[in-house]
């Protein structure tokens, strides 16, 4: 696969075309189910992704996880995940792969005001798994496990993607777990934040996004970031 390029295709199909041990770090924000029963304001309307979401509400399929482990040089991976995915991911990586792990959290100071008979979804979880021997780099200023930041409403409005993650968080993850010119991979690129952060941190990237609209958003953000780097040189 070509470096610093994204592909509009299913990630499982794409990963099967990638060689073994070719990726230094995975940072990904996979689709996960938002419960819509009760008084929530969201409704699941995109029928194309119903099956994928249902498959992932208790964690990834083992096929995707197996391929991710195959293409990484050593297991070194961050998942933005829902509460329901925590236990299945721990089972796979800690019990199954004997990885070390950390739980990072992002507290949103301006969460969506939808809760009904539930607590607010004002916290997102980031699970980090690393094989024994994988180093953590970074500094005191990047090794936070708890982030407090608002939802990225500005970029959400600009690019039209509902779940754009804060670039500062993803930048820190990349700096902490890879070296310059390393290869960062995201199988669920969404709005392209992982690729943008990789560029900002001096890393290479590869990624997949199945949704054609989001794929175009990714390309737009990547082009804008690269143009900004050229201007600032």
Residue 30: pLDDT band (50, 70, 90) is confident
Residue 208 pLDDT: 97
Confidence (pTM):
0.84
- The answer to whether the beta carbons of residues 197 and 170 sit under 8 Å apart is yes
In this predicted model, which residue has the larger pLDDT, 182 or 62?
182
State the Cα–Cα distance between residues 212 and 233, nearest whole angstrom: 32
130 bridge partner residues? 76, 100
CATH 3.30.565.10 fits 5-232, yes or no: no
Task: Express each pLDDT in 115-147 by its tens digit.
Answer: 678 888 888 899 999 999 999 999 999 999 999
Q: What is the mean pLDDT of the chain?
A: 84
Q: Provide the residue ranges of all domains of the chain, joining segments of one domain with +.
A: 5-232
Residue 1 pLDDT: 77
Task: Express each pLDDT in 36-72 by its tens digit.
Answer: 443 333 344 444 444 444 454 444 578 999 999 999 9
CA-based nearest residue to 27, from 200, 230, 155, 229: 200
Residue 58 pLDDT: 47
- The answer to whether the beta carbons of residues 25 and 184 sit under 8 Å apart is yes
- The answer to whether the beta carbons of residues 100 and 90 sit under 8 Å apart is no
């Amino acid at each position: 696969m070509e470096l610093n390029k994204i592909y509009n295709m299913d990630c499982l199909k794409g990963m099967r075309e990638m060689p073994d041990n070719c990726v230094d770090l995975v940072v990904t924000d996979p689709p996960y189910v938002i419960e819509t029963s009760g008084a929530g304001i969201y409704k699941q309307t995109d029928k194309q992704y119903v099956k994928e979401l249902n498959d992932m509400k208790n964690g990834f399929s083992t096929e995707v996880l197996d391929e991710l482990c195959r293409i990484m040089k050593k297991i070194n991976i961050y998942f933005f995940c829902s509460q329901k995915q925590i236990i299945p991911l721990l089972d796979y990586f800690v019990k199954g792969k004997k990885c070390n792990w950390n739980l990072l959290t992002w507290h949103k100071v301006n969460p969506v005001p939808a809760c009904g008979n539930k607590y607010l979804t004002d916290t997102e979880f980031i699970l980090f798994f690393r094989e024994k021997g994988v180093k953590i780099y970074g500094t005191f200023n990047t090794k936070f496990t708890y982030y407090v930041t608002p939802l990225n409403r500005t970029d959400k409005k600009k690019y039209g993607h509902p779940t754009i993650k804060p670039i500062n968080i993803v930048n820190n993850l990349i700096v902490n777990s890879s070296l310059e010119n390393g290869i960062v991979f995201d199988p669920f690129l969404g709005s392209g934040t992982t690729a943008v952060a990789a560029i900002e941190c001096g890393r290479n990237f590869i990624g997949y996004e199945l949704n054609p609209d989001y794929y175009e958003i990714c390309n737009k953000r990547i082009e804008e970031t690269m143009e900004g780097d050229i201007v600032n040189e």
